[in-house]
């Protein structure tokens, strides 16, 4: 009986160890985050093409619609979270690994960015938009993806063709520094543990919010639109959100790995207990006290993580719908640039730890996942298509035109993603293999 138990225990341990290794080296597909991207991109598109008049902002839905800077903040957090989810267990500090990472992570983004810029530039020329967007120095800075780096000293945002490309400029430093960020997060996790990583994220957010909060107090509880632009468009201002997304991803990864280890321990204990009872029964020694409970039971964190994910979504919704409206990106509105980073990162972390949360079930619907998979292309193509609709196709912007615009936008983005972009990604994978 002892030999049988030992053999069974060894087999179970090997199986669970292999499963745990798979968890740490082969990340799960987080479909609900793709579904979330659909709502975020829709939120941004609706805000960009609605009329910003204070008389209409008293409605909570209208006020929430205008706070699409929260959606951009969520996209930056998502970028850090998903990047680390995919690359956490891969060493990126050697030259070959870093080259592969940069080609795959930035190559696809750069292609679509330049396609969107070229389309917007051609339409701008056809529509006679001969302002600063067509000036050679400005276009050169846009092509080099450095236009908004001088924002704090220049004071004005100079929009590149396809205005949303500013987010790519803002994220490039974060992607470029990710190998170092990942190494630092791994070292911090080894030293501080999971709780320490959470405290580190909270400390980063506190430092990030200290500057705007100090300005808010010194200016009689008011922030200007110029201050919002620096807090929002300047690439340095988005670095902290990306790092917090990486930290949230590392915390969720540690929870998943810890849960797999607990499952392995529980499965091993059950196997030992079962084999011991079988051996005792066969030897005729099965007495009333011989049937024992498993040596340990895996603790389930389902309830806590699921509730935390749902509660964080409700917190973000409450803040966006119920906060009074002082004006577009002035007053306390600039706090929405980064103020909801913590509940958003809690949602990312908790939803990755427990897929039974209500928000995860909703966002994992195949229809939302399918639409969300084109969110990046939708995000970049919305301005060129708006130029086409407003300048060449329709003389007025009505609700019917806007609905047709959204349907056309997702159709074009989907066709582009499944043809041009898919082939480019496949080529990048071949050359970086």
Question: Residue 151: which of 232, 262, 70, 38 has the closest Cα?
Answer: 232
pLDDT of residue 175: 96
Residue count of the chain, please give it.
433
Question: CA torsion 79→25→254→354, rounded to 10°?
Answer: 70
- Dist CA 189 CA 187 (whole Å): 5
pLDDT of residue 195: 95
* Portion of the chain with pLDDT greater than 90, in percent: 59
Q: Are 76 and 171 in contact (CB under 8 A)?
A: yes
pLDDT of residue 340: 97
Angle at 133 between CA 75 and CA 336, to 5 degrees: 30
* Beta carbons within 10 angstroms of residue 180's beta carbon: 11
Question: Residue 337: which of 361, 312, 320 has the closest Cα?
Answer: 320
pLDDT of residue 370: 96
Helix axis angle for 341-353 and 69-87, nearest 10°, is 40
pLDDT of residue 274: 64
pLDDT of residue 215: 95
- Dist CA 241 CA 174 (whole Å): 9
Question: Residue 152: which of 216, 228, 230, 263 has the closest Cα?
Answer: 230
Q: What tokens does 62 get? A: 């209208």
pLDDT of residue 211: 93
E strands of 252-397, at which residues?
A: none
What is the pTM for the complete model shown?
Answer: 0.86
φ, ψ at 223 (rounded to 5°): -125, 145
**pLDDT one digit per residue (tens) for the chain, 433 residues:** 444 444 444 444 444 344 334 444 456 789 999 999 999 999 999 998 865 554 555 567 888 999 999 999 999 999 999 999 999 988 888 888 898 999 988 988 999 999 999 999 998 888 876 555 678 888 899 999 998 888 777 767 778 889 899 999 999 999 999 999 999 999 999 999 999 999 999 999 999 999 999 999 999 999 999 999 999 999 999 999 999 999 999 999 999 998 888 777 777 767 666 655 555 555 554 444 444 333 333 344 458 999 999 999 999 999 999 999 898 899 999 999 999 999 999 999 999 998 899 999 999 999 999 999 999 999 999 999 999 998 888 888 888 899 999 999 999 999 999 999 999 999 988 888 7
Question: Residue 239: which of 17, 59, 77 has the closest Cα?
Answer: 77
Upper half-sphere CA count for residue 106 (Cβ side, 13 Å):
18
How buried is 149 (Cβ within 10 angstroms: 0-12 exposed, 13-18 middle, 19+ buried)? middle
């Amino acid at each position: 009986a002892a030999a049988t138990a030992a053999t069974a225990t060894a087999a179970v341990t090997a199986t669970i160890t292999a499963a745990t290794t798979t968890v740490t080296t082969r990340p799960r597909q987080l479909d609900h985050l793709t579904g979330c991207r659909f709502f975020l991109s829709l939120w941004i598109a609706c805000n960009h093409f609605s009329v910003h008049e204070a008389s209409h902002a008293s409605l909570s839905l209208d006020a929430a619609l205008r706070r699409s800077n929260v959606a951009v903040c969520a996209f930056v957090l998502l970028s850090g979270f998903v990047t680390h989810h995919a690359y956490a267990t891969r060493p990126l500090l050697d030259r070959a690994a870093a080259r592969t990472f940069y080609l795959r992570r930035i190559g696809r983004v750069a292609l679509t960015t330049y396609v969107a810029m070229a389309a917007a530039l051609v339409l701008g020329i056809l529509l006679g938009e001969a302002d600063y967007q067509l000036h050679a120095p400005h276009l050169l800075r846009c092509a080099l993806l450095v236009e908004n780096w001088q924002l704090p000293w220049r004071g004005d945002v100079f929009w590149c063709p396809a205005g949303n490309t500013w987010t790519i400029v803002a994220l490039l430093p974060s992607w470029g520094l990710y190998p170092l960020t990942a190494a630092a997060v791994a070292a911090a996790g080894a030293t501080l543990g999971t709780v320490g990583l959470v405290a580190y994220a909270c400390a980063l957010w506190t430092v990030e919010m200290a500057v705007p909060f100090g300005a808010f107090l010194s200016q009689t509880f008011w922030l200007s639109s110029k201050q919002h632009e620096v807090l929002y468009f300047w690439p340095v201002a988005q670095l902290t959100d990306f790092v917090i997304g990486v930290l949230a991803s590392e915390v969720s990864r540690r929870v998943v790995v810890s849960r797999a280890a607990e499952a392995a321990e529980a499965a091993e204990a059950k196997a030992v207990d079962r084999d011991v009872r079988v051996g005792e029964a066969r030897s005729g020694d099965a007495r009333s006290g011989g049937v024992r409970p498993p040596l340990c039971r895996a603790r389930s964190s389902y309830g806590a993580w699921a509730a935390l994910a749902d509660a964080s979504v409700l917190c973000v919704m409450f803040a966006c719908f119920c906060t009074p409206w002082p004006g577009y990106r002035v007053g306390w509105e600039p706090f929405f640039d980064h103020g909801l980073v913590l509940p958003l990162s809690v949602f990312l972390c908790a939803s990755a730890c427990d897929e039974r949360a209500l928000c995860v079930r909703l966002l994992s619907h195949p229809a939302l996942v399918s639409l969300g998979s084109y969110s990046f292309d939708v995000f970049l193509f919305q301005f060129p298509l708006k130029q086409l609709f407003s300048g060449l196709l329709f003389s007025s912007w009505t609700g019917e035109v806007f609905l047709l615009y959204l349907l056309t936008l997702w159709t074009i983005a989907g066709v582009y993603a499944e043809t041009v972009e898919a082939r480019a990604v496949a080529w990048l994978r071949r050359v970086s293999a």
